[in-house]
Amino acid sequence: MELKETGENTLDIEKALHEAYERDQAFWDEIQKLVMYGVSASDERGHWVEIRVRVRPSQLDMITGVREKHPPGLYKSQADLVRSIIAAGTKTHFEFFKRKKGYSWNELEEILISLNILGRQQRLQELRTDVQRAMNDVVNGPGTVSDKANIVDLLNKIEQKIAHL
C-alpha cells in the first residue's frame, strides 16, 4: 500500500481525529445514561401511550436474556428495560442518520435527553425512598444494636452517594 501526499497538514488530521473521538465519546456517554435510566413511563401530567408490536419469540428471548444478565434490581420491570432499549435505540437511530445523511434531529434529541433526565430523577427518587424504607425497617426490626448501627451506617453512606448524583 502506497501513501499519497494529500497536502493536508498532519495537525489538521490529528484535530479531526480528536473531534471525531470527542463526538463518539459524547454519544456513548448519552447512550450510557439512556441505558441506565431510560425514560419515565409517563409525562408530568401522567399521560402515556401503549405500543404494541409483533416480534419473533427469539427477539423477546433476547430482551429477557439481557434482563437476566443485568445486575439485580437495575430494572424494576420488563417495561423499564424495554423503555431503556427504545431510548438507546432512538438515540442510535438519530446518530446514524445524522452521520450518514446529515439529518438534524436537534429538537427530537433534546426531547429524548429531557425525558432521560426525568427518568433519572424518578429512579433516584425511588432509590431514596427505598433506602429510607430500609432504614426504618432496620431501626424498627429485630436485631442487635450493633448490627442495626452497622446497617444504618451503610444505608447513610448510600444515601450520601445518592445525594451527589
Cell numbers that stand for 13 in this block: 488530521
Statement: residue 4 has pLDDT above 60: no
pLDDT band at 25 (very low <50, low <70, confident <90, very high): very high
Mean pLDDT of all residues in 112-123: 86
Contacts of 91 (CB under 8 A, 6+ apart): 27, 30, 31, 34, 109, 112
Query: What global pTM score does this model have?
Result: 0.66
Cell numbers that stand for 94 in this block: 438519530
Cell numbers that stand for 16 in this block: 479531526
Contacts of 73 (CB under 8 A, 6+ apart): none
pLDDT at position 6 is 57
pLDDT band at 36 (very low <50, low <70, confident <90, very high): confident
| Listed ranges 26-35, 67-76, 153-162; the one with the highest mean pLDDT | 26-35
- Between the alpha carbon of residue 109 and those of residues 40, 90, 142, the distances in Å are 16, 9, 50
As a whole number, the mean pLDDT across the chain is 84
pLDDT at position 1 is 43
- Among all chains, which residue has been given the C-alpha cell 479531526? 16
